[in-house]
Amino acid sequence: MPGPKTHNIAYKLLKKKLSLQTLDTLPNYDSYSIFAQGHDFLIYYNFYKIRTTRKLNEQILASEVLQEYYFSDFIYNYLKAAEKRGCLQDEEVRLFIGPGYILHHILDAYMHPYIIYCTGDHARDINKKTWYHGIMENLLDIYFMKKYENFDYTTPVREHFDFDSRKFSKNLEAILNDSLQSTYGINSGGTIFRTSVGQVKLYVRFFKDDRYALKRRFFDLVDPIFKGTSSFSYNRSESPVIDQLNLEHDIWQNPMDESITSNKSLLELFEEALTTCSQIIERLEMLIQSGNITKEAVEAIVPNIASTHGLAANQKIIIKNVKRS
């Protein structure tokens, strides 16, 4: 996961890349930006009720399955479940899967290999060391907010995650229940997503909005105990992350496979993800309108890649290549 604001901004920027023809059928595009949190809904779900490490690990594990396995199968199963219920044409059903879920996954898949190469870690590990991955993504949120939204920490951003959960229809919940079950064996996945959609705002309010820097001081203080809390608070300077954007175009390696190299900057990866995603959505829209959704057709449009390492799905990330500084 790049952070909640990076995904939120990507959703807004994606709109500029979609065709007028597609946008005409999505008149309420703006009011569904919460969908851009994609598979991270599993992580935000009931976060304030999590009391045990075991419960937290369970949720992280479930979300990792969505990140690394059966991506295109899931998209296919989702579309078929929607078709079966006769609501494939519903605006929110199409917004959830395209500009929401697919954008989230593709953006991760493009940015993560570089982020992981830089930080040397991915998921938070309470036994090891501080969570560099989370820290970098939090600063990236701040960087993107300043670049695109004239962010200043005195204005809370929780409102950007406002969502009237009545707009998350029973149909959408049922489609997700069906497709998360048939793809991943997750029970009541749609109900979890539906609940979580209304909780992101609270998460941002608790952990990110920080007008007086009180949270920053507290979270930095307890980081050695809780490992990772210094990834919270938007009241921070983004300057450390500017050095990590690879604006010098140094060569870097995919963290899984050293033979895959690139000299792209993080901003180029971000831009490329948006362009790729807009093409995927346009082609998927055409497929939806054609009424002939087959597994082969979906696989030809949606690359079956993992959102962690960006390579073929169905392999768990093993970090081998890390930037030495």
Residues that bind Zn ion (CB under 5 A): 1
Q: Over the range 133-151, which residues count as b (16 or more CB within 10 Å of their CB) and which as e?
A: bbbbbbbbbbbbbeeeeeb
* Least distance CB 133 / Zn ion (angstroms): 6
User: Cβ-closest residue to Zn ion?
Assistant: 1
**CA–CA gap between residue 244 and residue 248 (Å, rounded):** 10
**Can you name the residues that pair with 261 across neighbouring β-strands?**
253
Q: Which is nearer to Zn ion, 37 or 77 (CB)?
A: 37
* Least distance CB 1 / Zn ion (angstroms): 4
* Least distance CB 289 / Zn ion (angstroms): 34
* Least distance CB 3 / Zn ion (angstroms): 8
Q: Which is nearer to Zn ion, 115 or 175 (CB)?
A: 115
Q: Which is nearer to Zn ion, 114 or 161 (CB)?
A: 114
* Least distance CB 24 / Zn ion (angstroms): 34
How many C-beta atoms lie closer than 10 Å to residue 34's C-beta?
26
**CA–CA gap between residue 177 and residue 8 (Å, rounded):** 24
* Least distance CB 61 / Zn ion (angstroms): 15
Q: Over the range 104-129, which residues count as b (16 or more CB within 10 Å of their CB) and which as e?
A: bbbbbbbbbbbbbbbbebbbbeeeee
Q: Which is nearer to Zn ion, 1 or 176 (CB)?
A: 1
* Residue 78 main-chain phi, psi, to 5 deg: -65, -50
Q: Which is nearer to Zn ion, 76 or 270 (CB)?
A: 270
Q: Which is nearer to Zn ion, 64 or 92 (CB)?
A: 64
Closest CA to 110 of 100, 98, 102, 99: 102
* Residue 252 main-chain phi, psi, to 5 deg: -130, 165
